[in-house]
Amino acid sequence: MIGRVAHPASAEPLRRRLREIDFVMLCAVLALIALGSLIILSASRSAEAPLGLLRVRALQVGISVALLVAFAAMPYRALADAWKLIYFGNLVLLALVGAIGRTSLGAQRWLSVGPLSIQPSEFAKLALIITLSKLLSERREPIRRFADLIPFVAHVAPSAVLVFLQPDLGTSLVFVAILFALLFAAGTPLRSLAIVGAAGLAAAPFCWHLVKPYQRMRLAVFLDPSLDPLGAGYNLIQSKIAVGSGKLFGKGVFEGTQNALQFLPMQHTDFAFSVLGEEMGFVGAIGALALFLILLWRALRTAAVAQDGFGAYLAVGVAAMIAVHVFVNVGMTMGIMPVTGIPLPFISHGGTSLMTNSAAIGLLFSVLLRRQKIHF
């Protein structure tokens, strides 16, 4: 009688790890990356370069997937131990941007590293999620008073100010949204959060002179695009035409006239959703938004099953970051939000953004894989 073949000792732990992987979330992320690659190909190809930015995108995707796997394999608690290094390292990078950063389109937001160009403000979002989650998870007393919020506001303020001065108003507001989401998750009374929000709105008029003229015009044309239809309002007008012309099923991939004739500016970056709406229509746009909703649902589920407060806050922070980006980017393409230059996660062209979001998803997997103390 032939004896039973013994399985390797590592087979059971491997099966346990595989059971803990959220394949729904993984499939949603991969589908968004694939959709983004298709949109970027459509938006950037030309007769001279039929593949457009696809080769660059392929390299970015390869690096991003590697980061996702690396962050998933890394015990997320190690980031809590290194929170000071992450926080001050982030501030150093943002300060370097102000000192030696590369300027493009009136903004100084990039650092050149050899042939590569990175945008530290994207990494800063993840750095703040990690460090804020660490501080909140260590707090023993509940947040009850307005004074209890001051240390957390002070924690975010330096990064927000440095990014605002680049200038990048949109990203600095993302920091604020992440702060509010994590404070809400920590049980902060809505009254205290409302006081902070009201204080910020009250201070806004005093900061108006710090806003660049082109940013002021963006806010003005948001209310009335006809104020500057060939200048600041042009992007918004063309974007609304592109999205509206897609109708129910779209004009077909590679068939968008606003895109192909380059009436739509920055169609592969800030206005990638406009290309999607024109070429895939309402159905394609709803499909993309459904993928984001699935991703947010699984991120919040991760927060619910995390084995500790730090992991739960990480998941809430990642969900807030993605949700704000989707809401603002899609809103600006349809004229219900001001144009701020915030990319659409996994879809807009931009290596730093894609790498940051992929690393964030890797953190979610790290939290899931260790909810029952499964170690690599």
Domain that includes residue 138, residue range: 33-44+52-369
In a domain, 308, yes or no: yes
From CA 40, how far away is CA 214, in angstroms rounded? Answer: 26
Site of tokens 């920055």: 266
Average pLDDT over the chain reads 85
| pLDDT score, position 5 | 42
Structural domain contains residue 337:
yes
Q: Maximum distance among all alpha carbons in the chain? A: 88
pLDDT, tens digit (0-9, with 9 covering 90-100), for 293-303: 999 999 999 99
Strand pairing category for 116-118 and 102-104:
unpaired
Q: What digits encode the pLDDT tens for the residues 323-335? A: 999 999 999 888 8
In a domain, 23, yes or no: no
Is residue 213 included in any domain, yes or no? Answer: yes
Classify 347 as helix, strand or coil.
coil
DSSP 8-state code for residue 308: S
Q: Are 311 and 367 in contact (CB under 8 A)?
A: yes
Q: What is the number of domains present in the chain?
A: 1
Please measure the distance between the N-terminal and C-terminal CA atoms of the chain and give it in whole angstroms: 37
Lowest mean pLDDT across 109-118, 139-148, 264-273: 109-118
Please state, in angstroms and rounded to a whole number, the distance separating the CA atoms of residues 198 and 204: 10
Q: Is residue 61 part of a domain?
A: yes
What are 256-278's pLDDT values in tens digits? 888 777 777 778 888 899 999 99
- In terms of pLDDT, which residue wins out, 360 or 53? 360
The tokens describing 376, both together, are 């690599």
Q: Quick one: pLDDT at residue 13?
A: 58
Residue 17 belongs to some domain of the structure: no
Q: Flag whether 4 is in a domain.
A: no
Q: Is there a domain that residue 75 lies in?
A: yes
